[in-house]
Amino acid sequence: MSATHFQLDAQGRLQHFLTIEGLTCRHLTEILDIAESLHGVAERRVKKLPTLHGKTVVNLFFEASTRTRTTFELAAKRLSADVLTLNIATSSAVKGESLLDTLRNIEAMQCDMFVVRHSQSGAAEFIARHVKPHIAVLNAGDGRHAHPTQAMLDVFTIRRHKPDFPSLRVAIVGDILHSRVARSLIHALSILGTGDIRVIAPRTLLPAQVENLGVRVFHHLPEGLRDVDVVVMLRLQRERMEGALLPSEQEFFQQYGLTEERLALAHPDAIVMHPGPINRGVEIDSRVADGPRSVILEQVTNGIAVRMAIMSITLGHHARPVGEEV
């Protein structure tokens, strides 16, 4: 069984949510439709549903990320789950316990879902392969590999503005090489049948054979932006500057920063996205980030509904036998 199909059960239903690769348009559309119905919950006076009442969701963060952890914690709480946050890096490592022993112990505490963030690619899948069958594992970012919930909130945000994927032109701009966000988003856009997916980046920030992902490659920003409906700016990891990959932040902004002038080359209705946190003046000008075409904060809001949807779907496929209920 390949890694990409491991997250599905025998009926092809999502048991875990590890990667966008290998999913079908039907899987993605189910998530988007349920997220749409949950989106209204946050607008209500009482922002909670009883869906996961009595369930325990464990945040296993091996890599710090307040923002991502917070959105998962809120999503779980709005579904009435109990949430436990374990910063594994600083806890069990102290007593020299192995990752698998830590996992075994947490699952023995009768938890229902692990949300995993790790700096190593494949960590979430490794955990999913080793937990008990009743536990759902969600990948909240693993190394350079994947960040599938981010990709789903991105396509959810796109669909709310531009629902016809086959006619869409989407440009992803910046450090594609190190970006798990870009990788997952390209897969999601492909599966949904997006007509034209472009990546715009210097050669040093592109993975080898990136064309094989079904994208068109541009090295010149104005050329790549022409007529696009969606511009996705990636965060420039400042630590890359240290190495030889990039000259300087100023020079990067000069060539790949999104300004109002450059955005004018896109379709007049184009929306601007960014996974956050943004580096103002590095990959994006403040007037664009805060301007009328930006949907960056909508992405954050949508992230809650999308994660609630994914939690509901995967745990729904792990239901216990009915005879044991209260």
Give the binding site for a second copy (CB under 8 A): 40, 42-48, 53-56, 64, 66-67, 70-71, 73-74, 77-78, 82, 84, 86, 91-92, 94-98, 101, 104-106, 108-110, 238, 276-280, 297-298, 300-301, 303-304, 319-320, 322, 324-326
Q: Compute the least distance from the CB of residue 60 to a second copy, in Å.
A: 12
Q: Which residues pair with 248 in a beta bridge?
A: none
d(C-alpha 17, C-alpha 7), whole Å: 6
19 or 149: CB nearest a second copy: 149
13 or 77: CB nearest a second copy: 77
264 or 297: CB nearest a second copy: 297
Q: Compute the least distance from the CB of residue 122 to a second copy, in Å.
A: 23
Joined tokens for residue 59: 């945040």
Q: Which residues lie closer than 8 Å to 75 by C-beta, 6 or more apart? A: 304, 307, 308, 311
Burial 119-141 (b: 16+ CB within 10 A, else e): eeebbbbbbbeebeeebbbbbbb
Joined tokens for residue 274: 């960014």
Q: Compute the least distance from the CB of residue 213 to a second copy, in Å.
A: 27
Q: Compute the least distance from the CB of residue 169 to a second copy, in Å.
A: 26
Joined tokens for residue 30: 């189910």
Half-sphere exposure of 51 (CA within 13 A, CB side): 21
| Run of H or E including 115 | strand 113-118
228 or 271: CB nearest a second copy: 271
Half-sphere exposure of 323 (CA within 13 A, CB side): 0
Q: Compute the least distance from the CB of residue 214 to a second copy, in Å.
A: 31
Q: Compute the least distance from the CB of residue 146 to a second copy, in Å.
A: 20
88 or 186: CB nearest a second copy: 88
Name the amino acid, one letter, at 278.
I
104 or 267: CB nearest a second copy: 104
d(C-alpha 111, C-alpha 177), whole Å: 35
Kindly calculate the radius of gyration of the chain based on its CA atoms and give it in whole angstroms. 20
82 or 196: CB nearest a second copy: 82
Residues present in the chain in total: 326
Q: Compute the least distance from the CB of residue 33 to a second copy, in Å.
A: 20
